[in-house]
């Protein structure tokens, strides 16, 4: 087990180095002049571009610039963000809580709902329950996140005037900005901060703004989880041990929930990594449409304004999250499935 983890960990470092080289390669496809423009903050400075190129060594060979960049990254200096007009690292912590908050609410729903529906569908294979859930899943899978979000906004914000886009109402934003001593931002998550400050109105407002994004997200993401659970369930139910259990007269519920479902959960763990990737992509669309200023929104905005340092930072961040998640999942998988561990 220890050898397994060490090997995977070394691989992780290798992959991360690869990711950083790849990203830096993408950045280097810009000419030195264009990259120098990132350091220009006023029109007067524009004539200094050749000087900036010299000063920052932007026409040095690839490996030199890469080494310099990596050194800066390890020092926490990720460059300057045009969109946020502040250092990337600082802006990151400003945007991150918004994305985190949405994911914290959506992930449990996706997991529980997906497993529940998948089990139901697998047990009642080829009945109307199965057909309905399968159709919902495949339609959900085919819905582009941004489109579904737009339609939800159209119906609930436009027609019913229920939920508005954004993270929190303008009225409360003003209140918080005007009275910094009244509302301390401990975590940046409005729901948590609201509770900590004893301001339930903020909590309810933040929750109301979360409903549509989370709904969009769950419907689009749940399909994968559900499908894997369904096919796992079908496979397990047709195995010999289930037949034995049935023959000895165990009741169906025990067989399905206690025996079959536990085994059917294994493949769900393997796709959890993919689920993380889908969630990251989903966050971008949801945040852009609902105008929630989180990491995804920042990324899209930076892509439009050619804010390269931000793109690199977010790519790197997502790469790290994805690789670390996968490592954790692999270890978890080896832990829960002895067949893998003993190989």
Partner 1 sequence: MIEQHPRLREFKFTLYRIFKNPAAIIGFTLLLFFAGVAVFAPQIAPPKYAHNPYIMPHKGFSPTPKPPSKDHVFGTTSGQYDIFYGAVWGTRTAFKIGLFVVGIAAIVGVILGSLAGYYGGILDEILMRITDVIWAIPTLVLAMAIVVAFGRGLDKVMIALAMIGWRWYVRVIRSEILTLRDQDFVQAAKLMGVSDFKIILRHILPNAIYPVIIMASMDMGSMVITAAFLSFVGLGSPKGFADWGQMVALARNYIVGPPDDPLKFWYAIVIPGGCIVLFVLAWNLMGDALRDAFDPKLRRR
Judged by CB under 8 A, which of 142, 170, 240, 249 binds partner 1? 142
Q: Quick check: 254 and 70 in contact, CB under 8 A? A: no
Angle at 87 between CA 107 and CA 93, to 5 degrees: 25
Q: Which stretch binds partner 1 (CB under 8 A): 66-74, 112-120, 208-216, 305-313?
A: 305-313
CB atoms within 10 A of CB 298: 28
Q: Minimal distance in Å, beta carbon 149 to partner 1?
A: 10
* Beta-carbon contacts of residue 50 (< 8 Å; ≥ 6 apart): none
Does residue 83 belong to the site contacting partner 1 (CB under 8 A)?
no
Q: Quick check: 155 and 280 in contact, CB under 8 A? A: no
Does residue 260 belong to the site contacting partner 1 (CB under 8 A)?
no
Q: Minimal distance in Å, beta carbon 175 to partner 1?
A: 25
Q: Minimal distance in Å, beta carbon 48 to partner 1?
A: 24
Q: Which stretch binds partner 1 (CB under 8 A): 116-124, 133-141, 198-206, 240-248?
A: 133-141
Q: Quick check: 314 and 89 in contact, CB under 8 A? A: no
Q: Which stretch binds partner 1 (CB under 8 A): 24-32, 202-210, 241-249, 335-343?
A: 24-32
Nearer to partner 1, 76 or 158 (CB): 158
The candidate with the shortest Cα–Cα distance to 37, out of 25, 47, 49, 26, is: 49
Does residue 123 belong to the site contacting partner 1 (CB under 8 A)?
no
Judged by CB under 8 A, which of 1, 13, 26, 46 binds partner 1? 26
Does residue 319 belong to the site contacting partner 1 (CB under 8 A)?
yes
- C-alpha to C-alpha distance for 111 and 221, rounded to whole angstroms: 10
Q: Which stretch binds partner 1 (CB under 8 A): 78-86, 140-148, 204-212, 252-260?
A: 140-148
Does residue 269 belong to the site contacting partner 1 (CB under 8 A)?
no
Judged by CB under 8 A, which of 88, 202, 228, 318 binds partner 1? 318
> Which phi-psi region, left, alpha or beta, contains residue 86 (left: φ > 0; alpha: ψ -120 to 50)?
beta
The site for partner 1, by CB under 8 A, has a size of 55
Does residue 121 belong to the site contacting partner 1 (CB under 8 A)?
no
Q: Minimal distance in Å, beta carbon 119 to partner 1?
A: 18
* Beta-carbon contacts of residue 261 (< 8 Å; ≥ 6 apart): 115, 119, 233, 236
- C-alpha to C-alpha distance for 303 and 322, rounded to whole angstroms: 21
- C-alpha to C-alpha distance for 80 and 175, rounded to whole angstroms: 29
The candidate with the shortest Cα–Cα distance to 283, out of 218, 209, 191, 327, is: 218
Q: Quick check: 117 and 124 in contact, CB under 8 A? A: no
Does residue 11 belong to the site contacting partner 1 (CB under 8 A)?
yes
Does residue 153 belong to the site contacting partner 1 (CB under 8 A)?
yes
> Which phi-psi region, left, alpha or beta, contains residue 85 (left: φ > 0; alpha: ψ -120 to 50)?
left
- Residues in contact with partner 1 by CB under 8 A are 11, 14-16, 18-19, 22-23, 26-27, 29-30, 134-135, 138-139, 141-147, 150-151, 153-155, 157-159, 161, 234-235, 277-278, 280-281, 284-285, 288, 299-300, 303-304, 306, 308, 311-312, 314-315, 318-319, 322-323
């Amino acid at each position: 087990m220890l050898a397994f983890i060490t090997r995977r960990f070394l691989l992780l470092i290798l992959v991360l180095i690869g990711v950083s080289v790849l990203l830096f390669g993408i950045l280097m496809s810009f000419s030195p002049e264009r990259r120098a423009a990132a350091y220009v903050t006023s029109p007067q400075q524009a004539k200094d571009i050749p000087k900036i190129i010299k000063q920052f060594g932007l026409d040095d060979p690839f490996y030199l610039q890469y080494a310099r960049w990596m050194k800066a990254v390890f020092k926490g200096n990720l460059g300057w963000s045009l969109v946020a007009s502040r250092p990337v690292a600082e802006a990151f912590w400003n945007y991150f809580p918004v994305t985190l908050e949405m994911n914290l609410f959506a992930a449990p729903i996706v997991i529980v709902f997906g497993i529940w529906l998948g089990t139901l569908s697998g047990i009642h294979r080829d009945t109307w329950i199965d057909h309905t859930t399968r159709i919902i899943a495949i339609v959900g899978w085919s819905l582009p996140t941004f489109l579904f979000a737009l339609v939800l906004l159209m119906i609930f914000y436009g027609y019913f005037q229920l939920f508005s886009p954004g993270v929190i109402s303008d009225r409360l934003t003003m209140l918080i900005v005007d009275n910094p001593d009244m509302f301390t931002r401990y975590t940046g998550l409005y729901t948590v901060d609201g509770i900590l400050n004893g301001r339930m109105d903020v909590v309810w407002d933040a929750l109301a703004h979360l409903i549509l994004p989370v709904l969009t997200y769950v419907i689009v993401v749940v399909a994968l989880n559900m499908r894997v659970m369904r096919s796992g369930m079908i496979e397990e139910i047709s195995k010999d041990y289930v037949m034995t259990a049935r023959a000895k007269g165990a009741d169906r519920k025990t067989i399905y929930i206690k025996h079959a479902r536990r085994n059917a959960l294994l493949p769900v763990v393997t796709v959890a990594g993919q689920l993380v990737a889908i969630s990251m992509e989903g966050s971008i669309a949801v945040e852009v449409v609902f105008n929630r200023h989180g990491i995804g929104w920042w990324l899209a905005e930076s892509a439009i304004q050619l804010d390269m340092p931000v793109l690199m930072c977010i790519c790197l961040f997502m790469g790290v999250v994805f690789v670390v998640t996968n490592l954790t999942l692999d270890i978890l998988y080896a832990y829960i499935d002895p067949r893998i561990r003993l190989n």
